[in-house]
Amino acid sequence: MSLRFNAIENLSSQSLPRTEATPKITAIFNSNVFTLQVAREFLSDEAYKSLRASVKASQKIDRSMANQIANGLRAWAESKGVTHFTHWFQPLTGTTAEKHDSFFTLKSDGTPIEQFEGDALVQQEPDASSFPSGGLRATFEARGYTAWDPSSPAFIMEIGEGKTLCIPTIFVSYTGESLDYKAPLLKALEALNKAAVDVCNYFDKNITKVTPTLGWEQEYFLIDESLFNARPDLIMTGRTVFGHNSARNQQLEDHYFGSIPERLYAFMRDFEKESYKLGIPLRTRHNEVAPAQFECAPIFEEVGVAVDHNSLLMDIMDRVARRHKLRVLLHEKPFAGINGSGKHNNWSMATDTGVNLLAPGKTPKTNLMFLAFFVNTIKAVHDYADLMRASIASAQNDHRLGANEAPPAIISVFIGEYLTKVLNEIKERVTKKMDEADESLLKIEIHKSIPELLLDNTDRNRTSPFAFTGNKFEFRAVGSSANCANAMTVLNTIMAQTLKNFRKDVDALIEKGEKKEIAIMHTIREYIVASEKVLFEGDGYSEAWEKEAEKRGLPNVKTTPLALDAMVTEKAKDLFHNNHVYIHSELEARHEIELEKYIKKVQIESRIMGELATSHILPAAIRYQNLLANNIKGLKDAGLSEASYQHQKTILEEISVHINKTSELVEKMIEARKICNNMTHTRTKAIGYQSQVKDGFFDELRYHVDKLELLVDDKEWYLPKYREMLFLR
């Protein structure tokens, strides 16, 4: 029996795994995290103060304290049954990496002891030569090292009965170039902090720190493990390269917010429990639009911690799903014809005085501060839309962006009806000859026209890639499998640069003798005028918008190899250099890595398509073809007229056409790959893979295979069908 039918049979005989009742969340929340509260208990006063200072300032810990802190950490970890530790980091492969070492060691006289030294806590040198570096380590220095980032607390990862102390680290080369997602992110956050504080101080001198915040919404698909195992394409690429739509898809729209099936619910409770122990503040879970699609979202946190938590969550989900004989699909487009998955990045900035800078204020003055940050965000997106697009580009996300699906590849900003009105009013009324009375009148009127409960008034435009949703912007174009760090590094850097310019522009007017608030209003107006073409309130999926965007001169780059160009323009290099986020060589290395990732992904997809067609699809189709041919021959031999086997003949003809086309396309696709593989320039090769291999063959090959799926006897078909993967659980 084929894996497919085995899987279906398993499903109906399967009993639900027993799950324990979920404990009270507060009782387990953070129980596996070395929070400052725990540190207080396990560290001396001196060591605790030193650690706390490092955490608050996001700075390396004091080397002289490292041994004490390491001892405290070990004591805590051992009290929880931990035997090993690891530096945990986020390399550019897009997953997380660990290399476990045990506390166990032998003293010089051979006595076995458990120890954890400060040096091992602060810095490690993983043998990481196989992580992508875009040639950086080769150019500079062969080795890379991981260093503790105390802004993220240490935590204990439980895998089955095993427990490991994880030290969140950044990963850099010996000459200081970043080799991971986290190091540049921290630099971008610092750049934003400085620039934002400088602007905040126009309004409030007490603000000394601005912390960007992130709340992600993780979408995913869940399918049964044995069905997954019967789909080599899912195993190899995370998406189904073939598969005809099932008779019923998402058209009934009955899945969204529907009840969660019990088996999946058990999985969710289980991974949520693991997440709570690690301090991931999950808040919501629900069904998504497509069948078998779900979403979870936490309460927002500081960006650095939120990024770690998302990476951890993806890892936990995968592991816990296996425990439940399920598989989580984080791919952006696992199934053709139904919605893909994204990871909305809700983003804002908070001051150390407790103000959300993207929440409308309670007074005209705080409202002006809100408007300044609001308009600066729009300007940043306008000026660097190409970089935003590049930050979310991947082979997987190309299936969403620019492929008639949410959201489009055109980066635009949605702000809602009220704020559109407010911006128009500023544009019209802030004139050159404003005096103080005009100014204060306007400020009050504008204040009045922004409803206090904007949150409930914002229209929800689901088609915008970057939408204002009441007290935050929501970057919706981020892909479900992406590390949010990439998008967040870009967003915070472009915002930092824009705020720096804003401060300069306002100061210049003040120097010319303008009053501060009038100078601010004039600059806000200037920014609105300069960036309004990025604002769009309509349907982002419509063809009309594509045309309109083109007229406005907004970029619409549909494929990853071209979208990535934005990373290495002179403008991008200046931006990242001036904000101390990337030096030129780092950007070039990253550009190279992203292109290589793209090439590999498309190459693997193409190979698996060829393999499946040859070893799964064609044999089944040919067997059925034989059956029909023999049947016709038998009827003919028995002396029946052609009319009596007309039906068989028609199918036989159709099947033969699709068989021949499939095999011909597979051959040609292999030739196309060969040509691309001989290309030496990475960008050219990536474009080759996109235009010659992917665009050249994927859709057409799939068309013929999917036709065969409909024609061939169901019991001959080895690959689980869409209806089974999406509706059986």
Q: Is 491 in contact with 376 (CB distance < 8 Å)?
A: no
Minimum CB distance to ligand ADP, residue 469 (Å): 6
DSSP state of 64: G
Q: Minimum CB separation from Mg ion for residue 571, in Å?
A: 30
What, of ligand ADP, Mg ion, none, does residue 471 touch, CB below 5 to 8 Å by kind?
Answer: ligand ADP
What CA dihedral angle connects 496, 499, 505 and 506, to 10 degrees? Answer: -150
For the chain, the farthest-separated pair of C-alpha atoms sits apart, in whole angstroms, at 105
Cα–Cα distance, 390 to 383 (Å, whole number): 14
CB of 289 to ligand ADP, least distance (A): 13
Instruction: Please report, as ranges, the residues that interact with ligand ADP according to CB under 6 A.
Output: 213-215, 217, 297-300, 346-348, 356, 469, 471-472
Question: Measured between alpha carbons, how far is 379 from 371 in angstroms, rounded to an integer?
Answer: 12
Choose between 214 and 454: whose C-beta lies nearer to ligand ADP.
214
Closest by alpha carbon to 584, among 598, 570, 595? 570
472 contact choice in ligand ADP, Mg ion, none (CB below 5 to 8 Å, kind-dependent): ligand ADP
- Per DSSP, the three-state class of 227 is helix
Q: How far is the CB of 462 from ligand ADP (least distance, A)?
A: 10
Question: Could you give the CA distance from residue 644 to residue 512 in angstroms, rounded to a whole number?
Answer: 95
- Alpha-helical regions (H) of 282-350: 303-323
User: Which residues within the stretch 298-357 sit at the binding site for Mg ion (CB under 5 A)?
Assistant: 344
Q: Which does 726 bind (CB under 5 to 8 A by kind): ligand ADP, Mg ion, none?
A: none
| Rg of the chain in Å (alpha carbons) | 29
Query: Could you tell me the smallest distance in angstroms from the CB atom of residue 15 to Mg ion?
Result: 36
Residue labelled with tokens 């725990």 = 38
Check residue 638 and report its DSSP letter. Answer: T
Considering beta carbons, is residue 263 or 344 the nearer one to Mg ion?
Answer: 344
343/344 with CB nearer Mg ion: 344
Closest separation between CB of residue 361 and ligand ADP, Å? 14
* Residue type at 452 in one-letter notation: E
Look-up of token digits 């030290």: 167
For 455, the token pair is: 């949150």
* Residue found by looking up tokens 């040096």 in the block: 119
CB of 474 to ligand ADP, least distance (A): 6
Residue number with CB closer to ligand ADP (472 or 522): 472
Where residue 470 falls (left for φ over 0; alpha for ψ -120 to 50; beta otherwise) is: left
CB of 464 to Mg ion, least distance (A): 11
The residue (of 72 and 212) whose beta carbon lies closer to ligand ADP is 212
Look up tokens 């750049």; give the residue: 191
Q: Which is nearer to ligand ADP, 300 or 717 (CB)?
A: 300
Choose among Mg ion, ligand ADP, none what residue 124 binds, the Cβ cut-off being 5 to 8 Å by kind: none
Q: Which residues are within 8 A (CB) of 723 and not within 5 positions of it... i.e. 6 or more apart?
A: 246, 247, 248
Shortest distance in whole angstroms from residue 340 CB to ligand ADP: 17
164 bridge partner residues = 84, 157
d(CA 155, CA 313): 13
Helix (H) or strand (E) holding 168: strand 162-173
Q: What's the closest the beta carbon of residue 300 comes to ligand ADP, in angstroms?
A: 3
71 versus 351: smaller Cβ distance to ligand ADP: 351
Closest approach, Cβ 214 to Mg ion, in A, equals 13
Nearer to ligand ADP, 146 or 469 (CB): 469
Q: HSE on the CB side for 41, CA within 13 Å?
A: 9
| Amino acid sitting at position 436 | E
- C-alpha closest to that of 442 among 460, 430, 457: 430
Structure token digits, residue 604: 């693997």
Closer CB to Mg ion, 207 or 296, in the complex: 296
Identify what 213 binds: ligand ADP, Mg ion, none; CB under 5 to 8 Å per kind: ligand ADP
Pairing of strands 144-148, 123-124: antiparallel
Interaction partner, residue 215 (ligand ADP, Mg ion, none; CB < 5-8 Å by kind) = ligand ADP
Task: Pick between residue 419 and residue 655 the one whose CB is nearest to ligand ADP.
Answer: 419
348 binds, among Mg ion, ligand ADP, none (CB under 5 to 8 A by kind): ligand ADP
Q: Which of Mg ion, ligand ADP, none has residue 349 at its interface (CB below 5 to 8 Å by kind)?
A: none
Residue among 349 and 659 whose Cβ is closer to ligand ADP: 349
CB of 460 to Mg ion, least distance (A): 8
Binds 298: which of ligand ADP, Mg ion, none (CB < 5-8 Å by kind): ligand ADP
* CA nearest to 274, candidates 211, 216, 202, 322: 322
Q: Which does 476 bind (CB under 5 to 8 A by kind): ligand ADP, Mg ion, none?
A: none
Q: Residue 214 or 506: which CB sits closer to ligand ADP?
A: 214
| The entry of Mg ion, ligand ADP, none that residue 591 binds, CB within 5 to 8 Å by partner kind | none
Question: Which of 297/509 has CB closer to ligand ADP?
Answer: 297
Report the alpha-carbon distance of residue 499 to residue 200 in Å, rounded: 10
Tell me how far, at minimum, the Cβ of 329 lies from ligand ADP, in Å.
21
Sequence letter at residue 593: I
State the binding partner of 300 from Mg ion, ligand ADP, none, CB within 5 to 8 A by kind: ligand ADP
The one-letter amino acid at 52: R
Which pair of structure tokens corresponds to residue 537?
A: 């309130």
Residue count at the site for Mg ion (CB under 5 A)? 1
- Which residue has the CB atom at the shortest distance from ligand ADP? 215
Q: Which of residues 357-386 bind Mg ion (CB under 5 A)?
A: none
Interface residues toward Mg ion, by CB under 5 A: 344
